[in-house]
A and B are shown apart, each in its own frame.
Chain A
Amino acid sequence: MLSFVTRRIAAALGTLLLASVLVFLAVQALPGDVATQVLGKDATPDAVAALRGQLGLDRPAWERYADWVGGALHGDFGTSLVSGKAVGGEVAAYLGNSALIALVTVLFAVTGSIVLGVLAGLYRDRWPDHLISTASLVGMSVPEFVVATVLVLCFSVALPWFPAVVLYGPEASVGQLLPAVWLPALSLAVVMAAYIVRMARTSVIDVMASEYVTTARLKGLSTWRVVTRHALPSALLPTLHVIALNVAWLVGGVAVVENVFNYPGVGKLLLSSVQNRDLPVIQAVALVSAVVYVTCNLAADLGAMALNPKLRTRGRTR
């Protein structure tokens, strides 16, 4: 089992390394020289050459890559071309704000969707199932900005309960941001829950049809006990993976929703840095999101292993 875990972790690290190369190459492929960007179009060739030397742009690509990764490992992502501040600190500030949204979203989405999915699975082909399945189909079929717009229409315009836009910068405190977190989180949760509900429903149906659930029923256990003790643990296993994948998806979804609400999170930082061609920031955000994605997947795999003895033994025999 230990070798399985280490192999899985090694694979994750390999993926990350490869992703960092891809991110570096992709950002290098962006047209427009950084030095020309900084100095403007009218800069003399001498000045551009001097700045290129100063920024180290005249060195070969692999040397710059090694520098970048080496720095990143120490938390040093370079300096933002726009604000002139250290990228690491800037990304961390925005990331913290996004984490707040992500946390609320995951809480909403996971609890809500598991309850709904299990209900739909238990009442298969009856009205609660039809209702929940239709709702999740619709939730899956509208983009985040649509959900966000509709929520603003309902809860900021018609009923002025929540702010429609955030007026604070990245340094805002949790207390200042808290009232503004709910609508973005709810928009993301609706879209995210739609997928988890479907997954939870399918696996509950599969498990309820299995022989050991029939056995548990024949033993005379109450439905509640059958569901909570026998069916749910195995039904939640495949759901776990979908949840992990969706947490990774949040990074992208957050970019859209944060722009709708002008929320100072990492998604907003990403868009503005793409607009300003702030290469060090783009690279840092991309790398951080790759780390989030790979970690979520790793956690899902290891979690599945902890819950499913079969996977553990397979790891041992292999």
Chain B
Amino acid sequence: MTTLDTAPVAVPAPAPARAVRAWRTLRSSRAAVIGLSVVAVHVLIALLAPLLTSYDPIANSAGEALLGPSAQHWAGTDQYGRDVLARVLYGGRYALGVSLTATLLTVALGTVIGCAAALRGGRFDNVLGRVLDAVLSVPAILSLLVVVTALGTGPSVIVLAIAVVYVPQVVRVVRGAALAVVPQDYVTAARARGEGTWAILRREILPNITDVVCVEFAMRASWVVLLISSLSFLGFGADPPTPDWGLMVAENRTAITVVPMASLAPIIALATLVVGLNLAADGLSKAWGVDRIREGS
């Protein structure tokens, strides 16, 4: 009985910070942890490439062309005698650098436009929706090719081209998520206070759709990596002799019967990176309850 009388008042635990909570849910998802680790390993390898191999990824050495895997060249050499493993390790720099920049730009632009469309509504929203539908109806690879043909094949052009292709899709997703936030009372209150569109967007809407934007980023990044590698494969992306996985497959597949490893190594690198990104996207969306249905491209 006495225990009842003297029961200590429950001390409310201090609410963990937003970031801490997000981190905890993230750790509860095995897929997200594995996926993010795979991506992290790829980033590390790309950054530390010079320490991991003593070969120069672009130096030709005609005497050592098309060697199979050996103790000196773990993944063999290509038709110019370049070490395939070195090119795979350095290849992550182009793939990750261009893809992550392009995805950042795409998601940032798409988020701002999508939120603005949800907030403003009305004619702005309608016209925007129509234009985006039209952009989406032209195949992505064609828009990319047109931009690349017009402006050349530099990395900055590819980033721009990717933004042209994928911003409409991000806008759709973000607009949908933001539409659920806009009718909330706190947005109405902010409007009544006379705050500007930009302030409402940043302080009221963005914090509530962070999860959607993060999942969108991971998912979009996986598509961007695939698209950029396809572009390189077709000869419209990275210029030789840049070490790039898509380009390497295109170069080495002519000799696929002689040195299969020279084609397989970049394929494995590419596939693991994209599997990592996809796992991260899946895991995050499940852990955070982002109820999104993945659609085909």
* Chain A residues near B (Cβ < 8 Å): 14-16, 18-19, 21-23, 26-27, 29-31, 137-138, 140-146, 149-150, 152-153, 157, 192, 195-196, 198-199, 202, 238, 241-242, 245-246, 248-249, 251-252, 255-256, 259, 270-271, 274, 277, 282, 285-286, 289-290, 293-294
Sampled A-B contacts (25; CB under 8 Å): A15-B133, A18-B131, A18-B134, A23-B138, A29-B150, A31-B150, A141-B278, A142-B267, A143-B226, A145-B249, A149-B267, A152-B253, A199-B293, A245-B296, A248-B137, A249-B297, A252-B142, A255-B234, A256-B141, A256-B233, A270-B145, A274-B145, A274-B149, A290-B138, A293-B138
| Interchain CB contact (< 8 A) of A146 among B131, B150, B234, B271 | B271
> Do A293 and B233 touch (CB < 8 A)?
no
> Do B139 and A289 touch (CB < 8 A)?
yes
> Do A142 and B271 touch (CB < 8 A)?
yes
Q: CA–CA, A269 to B257, complex, Å? A: 28
| Interchain CB contact (< 8 A) of B234 among A23, A152, A241, A271 | A271
| CB within 8 Å of A: which B246-297 residues | 246, 249-250, 253, 256-257, 260, 263, 267, 270-271, 274-275, 277-279, 282, 293-297
Q: CA–CA, A169 to B109, complex, Å? A: 43
Q: CA–CA, A290 to B136, complex, Å? A: 9
Q: Kindly provide the distance from the CB of A128 to the nearest chain B CB, expressed in whole angstroms.
A: 19
Is the C-beta of B130 less than 8 angstroms from some C-beta in chain A?
yes
Q: CA–CA, A138 to B289, complex, Å? A: 23
> Do B149 and A146 touch (CB < 8 A)?
no
Question: Lowest 3 A-B CB distances belong to which pairs?
Answer: A18-B134, A141-B274, A252-B139
| CB within 8 Å of A: which B103-144 residues | 130-131, 133-143
> Do B141 and A255 touch (CB < 8 A)?
yes
> Do B134 and A22 touch (CB < 8 A)?
yes
In the complex, residue of chain B having the shortest beta-carbon distance to the beta carbon of A26: B146
Is the C-beta of B230 less than 8 angstroms from some C-beta in chain A?
yes
Q: Kindly provide the distance from the CB of B173 to the nearest chain A CB, expressed in whole angstroms.
A: 14
Given the complex, which residues of B lie within 8 Å of A246, measured CB to CB? 296-297
| CB within 8 Å of A: which B29-87 residues | none
| CB within 8 Å of A: which B130-168 residues | 130-131, 133-143, 145-146, 149-150
In the complex, residue of chain B having the shortest beta-carbon distance to the beta carbon of A157: B257
In the complex, residue of chain A having the shortest beta-carbon distance to the beta carbon of B233: A145
| Interchain CB contact (< 8 A) of A282 among B135, B146, B277 | B146
In the complex, residue of chain B having the shortest beta-carbon distance to the beta carbon of A270: B142
Given the complex, which residues of A lie within 8 Å of B140, measured CB to CB? 252
| Interchain CB contact (< 8 A) of B137 among A19, A26, A270 | A19
Q: Kindly provide the distance from the CB of B42 to the nearest chain A CB, expressed in whole angstroms.
A: 13
Task: List 13 other contacts, CB 8 Å, given A21-B134, A141-B222.
Answer: A18-B133, A22-B134, A142-B271, A146-B270, A153-B263, A195-B295, A246-B296, A249-B296, A252-B140, A255-B234, A256-B230, A270-B142, A290-B138
> Do B142 and A19 touch (CB < 8 A)?
no
Q: CA–CA, A32 to B139, complex, Å? A: 23
Contacts A15-B134, A23-B138: A30 and B294 contacting too (C-beta < 8 A)?
no
Q: Kindly provide the distance from the CB of A281 to the nearest chain B CB, expressed in whole angstroms.
A: 12
Is the C-beta of B99 less than 8 angstroms from some C-beta in chain A?
no
Contacts A141-B222, A143-B246, A157-B257: A149 and B137 contacting too (C-beta < 8 A)?
no
Given the complex, which residues of B lie within 8 Å of A241, measured CB to CB? 295
> Do A15 and B260 touch (CB < 8 A)?
no
Contacts A142-B270, A149-B253: A286 and B130 contacting too (C-beta < 8 A)?
no
Q: Kindly provide the distance from the CB of B166 to the nearest chain A CB, expressed in whole angstroms.
A: 13
In the complex, residue of chain A having the shortest beta-carbon distance to the beta carbon of B141: A252
Given the complex, which residues of A lie within 8 Å of B138, measured CB to CB? 19, 22-23, 286, 289-290, 293
Q: Kindly provide the distance from the CB of B249 to the nearest chain A CB, expressed in whole angstroms.
A: 6
> Do A18 and B130 touch (CB < 8 A)?
yes
Given the complex, which residues of B lie within 8 Å of A192, measured CB to CB? 296
Q: Kindly provide the distance from the CB of A201 to the nearest chain B CB, expressed in whole angstroms.
A: 11
Q: Kindly provide the distance from the CB of B169 to the nearest chain A CB, expressed in whole angstroms.
A: 11
> Do A146 and B267 touch (CB < 8 A)?
yes
In the complex, residue of chain B having the shortest beta-carbon distance to the beta carbon of A22: B134
> Do A146 and B249 touch (CB < 8 A)?
yes
> Do B246 and A145 touch (CB < 8 A)?
yes
Given the complex, which residues of B lie within 8 Å of A14, measured CB to CB? 130
Contacts A143-B229, A274-B145: A251 and B139 contacting too (C-beta < 8 A)?
yes
| Interchain CB contact (< 8 A) of A259 among B222, B234, B293 | B234
> Do B296 and A30 touch (CB < 8 A)?
no
Q: CA–CA, A256 to B143, complex, Å? A: 14
| Interchain CB contact (< 8 A) of B139 among A16, A138, A195, A293 | A293
Given the complex, which residues of B lie within 8 Å of A153, measured CB to CB? 256, 260, 263
> Do B267 and A290 touch (CB < 8 A)?
no
| Interchain CB contact (< 8 A) of A149 among B256, B275, B282 | B256
Given the complex, which residues of A lie within 8 Å of B139, measured CB to CB? 248-249, 251-252, 255, 286, 289, 293
In the complex, residue of chain A having the shortest beta-carbon distance to the beta carbon of B260: A153
Given the complex, which residues of A lie within 8 Å of B257, measured CB to CB? 157
> Do B294 and A195 touch (CB < 8 A)?
yes
> Do B146 and A15 touch (CB < 8 A)?
no
In the complex, residue of chain A having the shortest beta-carbon distance to the beta carbon of B267: A146
In the complex, residue of chain A having the shortest beta-carbon distance to the beta carbon of B31: A137
Q: Kindly provide the distance from the CB of A241 to the nearest chain B CB, expressed in whole angstroms.
A: 8
Contacts A145-B233, A245-B297, A252-B142: A16 and B149 contacting too (C-beta < 8 A)?
no
> Do A145 and B131 touch (CB < 8 A)?
no
Contacts A29-B150, A138-B271: A285 and B135 contacting too (C-beta < 8 A)?
no
